[in-house]
């Protein structure tokens, strides 16, 4: 549907749900998402149905162009149409696919879609302070540190800060030219 250099973003289908469930339940993704209950197929089916009516969430499967294999998931959530903002959700499902710039490609398509198609003004990410890969990833993609929610995340027996990073529509074209 939306094509980048090495991946495309396409709609989520029923056939993807078990894979997405397993990825989201895996330790290396679960540590970085807000979901704390194990996902099952009932929840997955409910989520997919909700996507067709929920005006505040738009999700895509990230598919590798070469193999047509699903490698992750991304989208915009908590979209606030009045204020023109939305939160990025993104993950690459397996560690073997991370570090290959697939997420960079996916995020750039998502930003273009958000700013040039949905007419959003601000796109932001909420990152747990211990997620160093994600902090570097968003900084590298032009997101600026906006502030933190102090001790908003409880994980592994401790409270951690949540960092908010964001990018504005007029910062996006500047990024494309550099």
Ligand X SMILES: CC(C)(COP(=O)(O)OP(=O)(O)OC[C@H]1O[C@@H](n2cnc3c(N)ncnc32)[C@H](O)[C@@H]1OP(=O)(O)O)[C@@H](O)C(=O)NCCC(=O)NCCS
Residue pair 37/48 in contact (Cβ under 8 Å)? The answer is: no
Pairwise CA distance, residues 65 & 58, whole Å:
21
**Site residue total, ligand X (CB under 6 A):** 21
Cβ nearer to ligand X, comparing 120 with 126: 126
Does 32 help bind ligand X (rule: CB under 6 A)?
yes
The CB-of-53 to ligand X minimum distance in angstroms stands at 25
Tokens representing residue 59 in the block: 């999700």
Which of 138, 172 has the CB closer to ligand X?
A: 138
Closest distance to ligand X from the beta carbon of 173 (Å): 21
* Contact (Cβ atoms closer than 8 angstroms) between residue 1 and residue 9: yes
Q: Taking contact as CB under 6 A, which single stretch among the options 39-47, 79-87, 99-107, 155-163 is the one that binds ligand X?
A: 99-107
Residue 144: CB atoms within 10 A of its CB come to 13
Q: Which of 37, 31, 29 is nearest to 130 (CA)?
A: 31
Binders in 34-73 for ligand X, by CB under 6 A: none
Nearer Cβ to ligand X (116/136): 136
- Residue 7 to residue 65: CA distance in whole angstroms: 5
Alpha carbons 76 and 94: distance in angstroms, whole number: 21
Report if residue 175 touches ligand X, rule: CB under 6 A.
no
Taken in order 55, 57, 61, 65, the sign of the CA dihedral is: positive
77 binds ligand X (CB under 6 A): no
Binds ligand X (CB under 6 A): choice among 9, 62, 103, 123: 103
Nearest residue to ligand X, by Cβ distance, number only: 103
Residues making contact with ligand X (CB under 6 A) = 29, 32, 90-92, 98-104, 125, 127, 131-134, 136-137, 140
């Amino acid at each position: 549907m939306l094509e980048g250099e090495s991946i495309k973003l396409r709609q989520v289908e029923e056939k993807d749900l078990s894979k997405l469930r397993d990825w989201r339940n895996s330790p290396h993704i679960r540590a970085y998402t807000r979901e704390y209950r194990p996902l099952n197929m009932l929840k997955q089916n409910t989520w997919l149905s909700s996507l067709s009516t929920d005006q505040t969430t738009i999700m895509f499967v990230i598919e590798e162009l070469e193999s047509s294999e699903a490698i992750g998931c991304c989208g915009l959530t908590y979209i606030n149409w009045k204020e023109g903002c939305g939160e990025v959700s993104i993950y690459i499902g397996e560690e073997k696919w991370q570090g290959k710039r697939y997420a960079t490609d996916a995020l750039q398509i998502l930003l273009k879609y958000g700013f040039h198609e949905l007419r959003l003004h601000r796109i932001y990410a909420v990152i747990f302070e211990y997620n160093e890969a994600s902090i570097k990833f968003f900084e590298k993609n032009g997101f600026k540190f906006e502030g933190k929610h102090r001790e908003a995340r409880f994980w592994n027996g401790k409270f951690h800060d949540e960092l908010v990073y964001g990018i504005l529509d007029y910062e996006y074209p500047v990024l494309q030219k550099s």
